[in-house]
Structure formats: C-alpha cells, structure tokens
Structure 1
Amino acid sequence: MSETVYVDNNREAAGEVTFGFKGALAGARQAWPLAVGGCADGLVFGVLAHQSHQSLLEVFLMSALVYAGSAQLLVLHLWSLPPVFWPIVLTTLLVNLRMVLMGMTLSPWWRRLPPLKAYGTLFFLSDETWALTMGEFARERRDAAFLLGSGLLMFVGWIGSTLLGCWLGGGIADPAAWGLDFAFTAVFLTLLLGMWKGKADILPWLVSAVVAVVAARLIPGNWYILLGALCGSVVGAMRHAD
C-alpha cells in the first residue's frame, strides 16, 4: 500500500490527509492491547451464541457483517426460533446510532478520500478504533489508514474469538455451573461503566431502566429492551438539545 496524500484547502479543516501502509501498521500496533481485551468479550459472545442454538456459520456471519459487540449481545437476548425481525433490527439501530456521530467527527478528513477507501475503512469503525484515530489526528499524524490497520486487527480478533467461543460452548453442558448465565448481565454492566460520562447520564439511564422494567411486566416478549433503549435515547437527545 503506497502512501497517497489528499489535500483540500477549501475545507474547514485545512491541511492534508494521507493513506498508506505506515499508517495502517501504526494503527495495528496501537490497537493490539485493545484487540486482546476484545477477545474476552468475543469468547463470551460465542459461548452464549451456542447456547442460543446458533451454528458456527451463523456466528461467523453475524460477527463479520454486524461487527458490533454490544448490539450482538442484545440480539442474543432477543433471539428466538424463528427470529423476530423488526425488534432485532430496531434495537441494533438504536444501539449503533452513536456511529453516526463518530463518522461526523471524521468527515472533515474522510470526505477527501476516494469513496472506496473512505467507506471501506469506515466499515471497521468502532468505539476503540475511533478513539485511537482521533488521538492520532490530534497529534497531527493524519493518516486515514490508521483506522484501517487498527480496525482490521480488532475485526480479525473479534471474529476469531467468537468462533472459538461458539466451538468451546459445545462442551459446556450446564452454563450456570460456570457462571455463564450471568455473563450477559456482567458484560453489559461493564459496558455501562465504560460509557459513564457524569451526572448528565443519570436521567436517561433511569428512564430507560424504568420503562424497560414496566414494559417487561406489561408487554409479552422482549419488547422491553427496544422500548427502554428508545425512551432513554429520546431523553438523552432532549437533554443535549437544551
């Protein structure tokens, strides 16, 4: 991959952005500790996916095409045979709406790239790769391939660990004996702690929790997940708009 320089002095963020092998390699080097940590979540997802009667092929396709750990774990909780289509799609959309904001922060540079490089690289966008890339750009090292390198490493690690977890899950006859019946709750508590930004998060989280609990008691099925996420998101958006 030869380095290419893209310049657009008419843009608000003037300067240049490059796309080359050195940037991709730098991204992979910085991302490997995060990729190792992500593999732990991938193993848990794989085991739980097997317990939800998903095959290795289904786990592979979900991890490769969706590539969103929190959304995939939520989908497992909604999974049924046959799967209920709309709740799964809408829940995944709500959980991943933050990617729109992440993409907007990258747009001053990414819109200078050819479409194949820009959109192909953004497929590997995640919370971790976005944070690493923004830190790199803040230090004036603006190689867009940094996101590609870090994202590819985490992508491969995620797929590999989910498949390994699914394979290992076949040898676990009683998930409760290993504490895996609590794994879903534990993973999401960890995700929540990582998302905590301060007291401003209390109201949206509280609304989401109350709506989910009430809906779980009054509405059959798994609609409480979607309703809780939707109400919490609306309250959060209203607070930011004020």
Structure 2
Amino acid sequence: MKIIIIGLGNFGLALALNLTETGNEVIGVDRQMEKVNLVKDQLAHVVCMDATNELAYQALPTKQADLTVVAIGENEGAAIITTAIVKKLCAGKVISRSLSPIHDTVLQAMGIDFIVHPEQEAAQKLTYKINLKNVIDNYKIDEHYSITEIKTPESFVGKTIGELNIRLNHHVNVITLLRIREKINFIGAPAKVKVIGVPTTNTRIEKDDIMVVFGLNEKIADLNNKK
C-alpha cells in the first residue's frame, strides 16, 4: 500500500518503519527537519512541511495514497486541523491519533475511519504483561477473548502440537508459533525478527518458541502459568 504518515514522533516513526519493513510504500511528513533527516534513507519519501497549511499538501500524493495516518501527538489543535485537511483532500482511508475524549468526539464527527490511542493501548498491554509475567504481547478481542503471545512452558518443549492436544487439555487454540532470529536494524542495534510458522499436529515445539494462542482470558492465564 501507499501510506502517508503525518507526524514522526515516537509513535509515527515506529509505525512508519514497521510498515516499510512489511512491504508498504511509506511517505513520512513532519514539520521538524531533524526528524525528516533521521528517516530520509529508511522511508520511500519524506517531506518537511506544516501539515496545518492546506496549500502545502500539493507536495503529497493525496489522491494516490491508500491510507493516511495523522500521528501528531504533541499538539491537539494541530492534530485536529490536520485531520480535517486530510479528510478533505485524501481519497483513501484516514486513521487519526486521539489525545483526549474531546478529540475523540471531534474525530467521530468528522467520520474518521479509525481512531487510535497509542498511550492508552500501550498501558493496557503493559498492565497485562505485568500481571501475567510470561506474556509477550496481547490483542484484546472483547472483554472475554484475546489473542496472546506467551512464552512456551518448559514442559511443552520437544513435543508436538498433536501430542500436547492443547485445544482439548487447555481450551485454547494455537494460531501459530514464533521463532526468534536476530538481525541488525537501521541504527545498528540488534532487533528480534519473528519467523512465523503455521502449526500442524506434527509441529514440534522448540526451546524459546513463542506461542500465539486464542481463547478465553482465564484459559490463557491458566496456560500462561503452566511450567
């Protein structure tokens, strides 16, 4: 996809790099030249501009973009103005970061396709990880069900999915296994890359595998506590 990300702070930058790594053509936008210079060699294109100035959008392929993300996080007024301009000019879907409940209301009134709350969502995930010490990551489906990454119990290592019969014995579904390999990221630091395998009954679990499971939260918690 061709994606425009406006605002290259911590959230916007991480999103831009992750989307680029997963095969998307990302155009990054920020009003600060130092942020633009930081990623000019990592993204398909970068633009330094004031996103609250409608005339500046002539430098962006607004009609060709499949998705535009307003990731501005330090100025609620600028974020709202930018979102209004993006909604007017961009042909594709629009995702906007919200900074407050009032901001939510304004974005909903604009008809924004998807509203994100990165700090709140990160805090919820961190809370879950702290409460369940072996949890790597978690995606909440609703109040009762989640998709969760957990460290494989030691007693599972060396056994197959079929031998463990996890669905019957633990009442959760194993969606996939993640095996970790090391590579060097764009700033020269080691980064962990998840190599995904689709498990069958014959898939054998290895040491340090991460299990991605779906089920009731209490059942996932029970499995997470297994040695």
Fold conserved between structures, TM > 0.5: no
Flag the structure with higher helix content. 1
Q: Which has the higher strand share?
A: 2
Specify which structure has the bigger relative contact order, considering alpha-carbon pairs within 8 angstroms and separated by 6 or more residues.
1
TM-score (norm. length: structure 1): 0.23
Q: Which of the pair has more CA radius of gyration?
A: 2
